[in-house]
Amino acid sequence: MNEPLAERLRPKTLSDYISQQHLIGPNGSLTNQIKQGLIPSLIFWGPPGIGKTTLAHIIATESKRPFYTLSAINSGVKDIRDVIDKAKQSGGLFTTKNPILFIDEIHRFSKSQQDSLLQAVEKGWVTLIGATTENPSFEVIPALLSRCQVYILKPFNKAELETLLNRAIEKDTYLSKKHIVLTETEALLRISGGDARKLLNIFELIVNAHELERIEITNELVLNRVQNNTVKYDKTGEQHYDIISALIKSIRGSDPNAAVYYLARMIEGGEDVKFIARRLLILASEDIGNANPTALVIANNTFQAVATIGNPESRIILSQCVTYLACSEKSNAAYQAINKAQELVRETGDLSIPLAIRNAPTKLMKELGYGETYQYAHNFERNFAHQEFLPDSISNTKLYDPGNNPREQAQRQFLKTRWKSKYGY
């Protein structure tokens, strides 16, 4: 049997589709649009193996539209134009159900390739559905992005992945003939990393390698079978997230040797240098922050430089950045502060802002006391006036707690001289 298990089990209808209930569940943001057949141009953003392609096929089937597909890996502008011409002809002049053009890995299209889609989307010749594992804000041109709705697809949870495995055991023509006992799933789920396609392919590999009619799936069996099959880095998804995770954790752990090793793995695997630089930019704030503010400057300059220079020289710039970040003092205080602040906002809602610090652009607002008791900091000694900035109900709430490193200790001392009695620095 040549067709992989993941393909054999690909759902054909929304009722068979597992997960993404926030999009296609009873109250999903796409549910009514699919039922009514009023499908806008869409971008599906999410990690590999979570059903982006499948959902696009189902949408076309459920809305009874012609379906055309292109892969950004091996399609050029001519291919795009050819498909658009066919789609225009199949759509006809008297139908509101224009064809769907699905483009897998749309983030790999160049600007000129994306430009070639604009008129077709604008005129309604096609409904575009793009799939991407990368942030479309960075990888899709603004003109095209503004014509599409972006929907985030979430990774499968444990229950959903186990449902997929049980469905394979019960419904697959080949596997249902075997006596498969799913005793343990932890190893399968961990190795697949939430990628349903990878999960099913590994599962099939293990079953096919077992000669006995009764097969008991245990963690030990999975690890023994899979660890002997080394998988090379695959920038389209297989180890994409594992290795970038290893790179980030090595930098966070202040190990430049491990960090530059994983950087080399990604470069040798053909990873997009802008993707690497973007992750370093995030890390510079999340894991270093105010312990070394220069880290953010260097990471930002690295992103700009590799975007300009490209391969192969970008490897040198990335190596400098990676080793610098790994050797920097670490702090997640700023990251923790915004997490706490957002959680507080979700809990407390739109609290009333103190009158003293409200804007007062009109006469009425001034009469109501907006800004009346505000103390302009520069009119006071050391440019500081002790006043209330937080809403009354959360007054004295400390969200930012500087880390234990020289730079942030200096910040703590600064805050202590001004806010010790209020926040307890």
What is the C-alpha separation between 97 and 29, in angstroms, rounded? Answer: 20
What is the C-alpha separation between 338 and 252, in angstroms, rounded? Answer: 19
The per-residue pLDDT for 234 is: 55
What is the C-alpha separation between 92 and 94, in angstroms, rounded? Answer: 6
pLDDT tens string for the chain (425 positions)? 568 888 899 998 888 898 898 898 888 888 888 888 788 899 999 888 889 999 999 998 888 888 898 888 777 888 888 888 887 776 544 445 688 999 998 988 888 889 999 999 998 889 999 999 888 888 899 999 999 999 999 888 899 999 999 999 998 888 888 889 999 999 898 888 788 888 998 899 888 887 777 889 999 888 888 765 444 455 555 466 778 889 999 999 999 999 999 999 889 888 889 989 999 999 999 999 999 999 999 999 999 999 898 888 999 999 999 999 999 999 999 999 999 999 999 899 888 888 888 887 777 767 777 778 888 889 888 888 888 889 989 998 999 999 999 999 999 999 998 888 788 88
In a 10 Å sphere around its CB, with 0-12 CB exposed, 13-18 middle and 19+ buried, how is residue 350 labelled?
Answer: exposed
The per-residue pLDDT for 92 is: 47
Can you list the domains of the chain with their CATH numbers? 20-152 (3.40.50.300), 158-226 (1.10.8.60), 240-326 (1.20.272.10), 344-423 (1.10.3710)
Half-sphere exposure (Cβ direction) of 255: Cα atoms closer than 13 Å: 12
- At residue 54's C-alpha, the angle toward residues 51 and 55, to 5°, is 85
The per-residue pLDDT for 1 is: 54
What is the C-alpha separation between 371 and 290, in angstroms, rounded? Answer: 31
Contact 147, 122 (CB under 8 A): yes
In 214-370, which ranges are continuous DSSP H helix? Answer: 219-226, 240-252, 256-268, 273-283, 294-309, 314-326, 333-348, 363-367
Enter the pTM of the model: 0.61
- At residue 5's C-alpha, the angle toward residues 4 and 7, to 5°, is 70
Residue with token string 């309604």: 124
Sheet holding 100-104, edge to edge: 67-71, 100-104, 127-132, 42-45, 149-152
